[in-house]
Amino acid sequence: MRYLSSGESHGPQLTAIIEGVPAGLTLTAEMINQDLRIRQQGYGRGDRMKIESDQVQITSGVRHGVTLGSPITLVIKNKDNKNWGHVMAIEPIDEHDYEIKKVPRPGHADLVGAMKYGHRDLRNVLERSSARETAIRVAVGAVAKQILKALDIEVISHVLQIGKVSVTNYPTTISTIQAAIANSPVRCVDSDLSIQMCQHIDEAKQQGDSVGGIVQVLAENVPAGLGSYVQFDRKLDAKIAAAFMGVQSVKGVYFGDAMMASSHFGSEVHDQISYDQGFTRMSNHYGGFEGGMTNGMPVVVQAMIKPIPTLYQPLNSIHIDTKEVEESMIERSDSCVVPAAGVVLESVLAFELAKEILEEFQSNQMSSLIKAVKCHREAMRDF
Ligand SMILES: Cc1cc2nc3c(=O)[nH]c(=O)nc-3n(C[C@H](O)[C@H](O)[C@H](O)COP(=O)(O)O)c2cc1C
C-alpha cells in the first residue's frame, strides 16, 4: 500500500491517491470526516480551523460504501481558497496586488526551501511546507484505520507534555486512555494537568509565543512478527520512526521507555519473557519491539514536537533581497499544535502498520487478509 499527496495550503484542494487497499473494505466519507474533525480541535489552534471544517470527498476506488481494490482518491477542498484568488491563481496573472513574502521565519522551511528551488517569493515554499498537508494525511490514515479495525487493531494518541507541564502517571490501555481524554481540550489523561496545559498555552499566546510538547501513540492487538531483523531497512520500528519524522515539527522519536532505559541497568529494564497461552512479556519498556519486529505487546511510540515557528512576537531574521535585519514574517498561525500533531501521528502509525501487514500477508481482498492474519496469530500463539 502506498500513497502520494498534493496540494498547497491555500490552493483549491488537497488530494491523495492510495493504491493497494484490498477490495471489500467498508469505507464512507463520514468514517474519514470523524478523524478530520478531531485533527481540527485541540486547545491552541488558530482561526484557520474555524474557516476550514474539513470534509473529504472520495472520488475513486469505492462503490456503494465498499472499496473496489482500485486506487482510492481522496479530496479535501480548501474552503479558504476563495479568499486567495490572485495570490494562489494557477494561471498566469498580469499584475499582483498582494505582498510578496521576503523575510523567512526561523525554524520554518522558508529560507532553505527558497534557496533550494530558487524562489524569490517565500510563499512558493510555505504553501506546501505548511502542515495544512497533514489534513490529507489524516484522511489517508483513517482509511488505514479501517483496515486495522477489521483486524481488531486499535490506535490512539494522547498528550504527555505541553511546554513545561507533563503527565507522568498515565494508563496504558486504549479504552482507559480514550475515556480519560474524552473531555480534555488537550487530549491529556489528567484533568488537573489539562487545565495547567491550557494555561501554559494561553501564557505563550499572550506573549506572541508558541509551545511544543510530547505525544504518545499506541496500537493494541498488533500481531507478533511484523517487520524483520534480517535487513536494516526491514525493521518496522525504523520505518515508523522515519514516518514520524516526516510529520512537520516532530524533532525526536522514541519507543516505549527508551528515555528512562538509557540511564538504567539492563536488569532493570529488559522486558522479561513469560508464558500464558502463548509467549508474552512481563513489562513493555521497549514499546512492543525487539529486533525491529513487533513482539505482540502494545506498540508505544513517543514523538517530541518543537514549538511552532510562526511567532506573533517575531524573532529577527534577514530580508532575502536587502540582506537587512527585519522581524520575520507572520502567516496566520496556531500557538500549540501538540494535540493535533498526536492525531496526525496516530494516522501515520495506522498507515505504517496497515502497510506492513499488507506487505506480510499480501491480499487483494479483505476476507483473505482477515483469514491470513487470524492464521498467523494462531501460529504465533501455538509456537
Ligand atoms: C498539525 C500541525 C499544525 C501546524 N501548524 C503550524 C502553524 O500554524 N504555524 C507554524 O508556523 N507551524 C505550524 N506547524 C509546524 C510547521 O509546519 C513546521 O515546523 C515547519 O513546516 C518546518 O518543519 P520542521 O519543523 O519539521 O522542520 C504545524 C505542525 C503540525 C503537525
Average the pLDDT over 32-52 and give the result: 78
Confidence check: pLDDT of 46 > 80? no
Binned at pLDDT 50, 70 and 90, residue 97 comes out as confident
The answer to whether 125 and 113 are in contact (CB under 8 A) is: yes
Burial level of 352, CB count in 10 A (0-12/13-18/19+)?
buried
Confidence check: pLDDT of 72 > 70? yes
Q: Output the ligand 1 site: residues, CB below 6 A.
A: 46, 108-109, 129-131, 134, 247-249, 306, 308-310, 333-334, 337, 340-341, 344
Confidence check: pLDDT of 333 > 90? no
What separation in Å is there between the alpha carbon of 361 and the centre of ligand 1?
35
Burial level of 195, CB count in 10 A (0-12/13-18/19+)?
middle
Percent of the chain at pLDDT exceeding 90? 91
What is the Cα Rg of the chain in Å?
Answer: 22
Average the pLDDT over 341-354 and give the result: 97
Confidence check: pLDDT of 366 > 70? yes
Confidence check: pLDDT of 204 > 70? yes
Question: Which ligand 1 atom sits nearest the alpha carbon of residue 46?
Answer: 8
pLDDT of residue 51: 62
Binding-site residues for NADP(+), please?
Answer: 39, 45
Average the pLDDT over 237-248 and give the result: 98
Average the pLDDT over 158-181 and give the result: 96
Dihedral in degrees, nearest 10, Cα atoms 247, 327, 117, 9: 50
Average the pLDDT over 212-227 and give the result: 98
Question: Which ligand 1 atom sits nearest the alpha carbon of residue 131?
Answer: 17
The CA distance from 331 to 312, in Å, is 9
Question: Which ligand 1 atom sits nearest the alpha carbon of residue 250?
Answer: 26
Confidence check: pLDDT of 96 > 90? no
pLDDT of residue 50: 61
Binned at pLDDT 50, 70 and 90, residue 76 comes out as very high
Average the pLDDT over 224-251 and give the result: 98
- 301 forms beta bridges with 217, 255
Average the pLDDT over 278-307 and give the result: 98
The CA distance from 15 to 23, in Å, is 21
Confidence check: pLDDT of 95 > 80? no
Average pLDDT, the chain: 95
Confidence check: pLDDT of 59 > 70? yes
Average the pLDDT over 77-97 and give the result: 88
The answer to whether 344 and 333 are in contact (CB under 8 A) is: no
Q: Which domains does the chain have, with CATH numbers?
A: 2-381 (3.60.150.10)
Average the pLDDT over 293-303 and give the result: 98
Query: Which among 48, 248, 304 is the best mutation to test ligand 1's pocket, defined by most ligand atoms within 8 Å of the CB?
Result: 248
Average the pLDDT over 174-202 and give the result: 96
What separation in Å is there between the alpha carbon of 314 and the centre of ligand 1?
15
Summarised one tens digit per residue, pLDDT across range 252-282 is 999 999 999 999 999 999 999 999 999 999 9
- Residue of the nearest CA to atom 11 in ligand 1? 310
Binned at pLDDT 50, 70 and 90, residue 48 comes out as low
pLDDT of residue 197: 97
Please give the distance of CA 165 from its chain centroid, rounded to a whole number.
22
pLDDT of residue 3: 98
Confidence check: pLDDT of 292 > 90? yes
Question: Which ligand 1 atom sits nearest the alpha carbon of residue 45?
Answer: 8
Average the pLDDT over 27-47 and give the result: 87
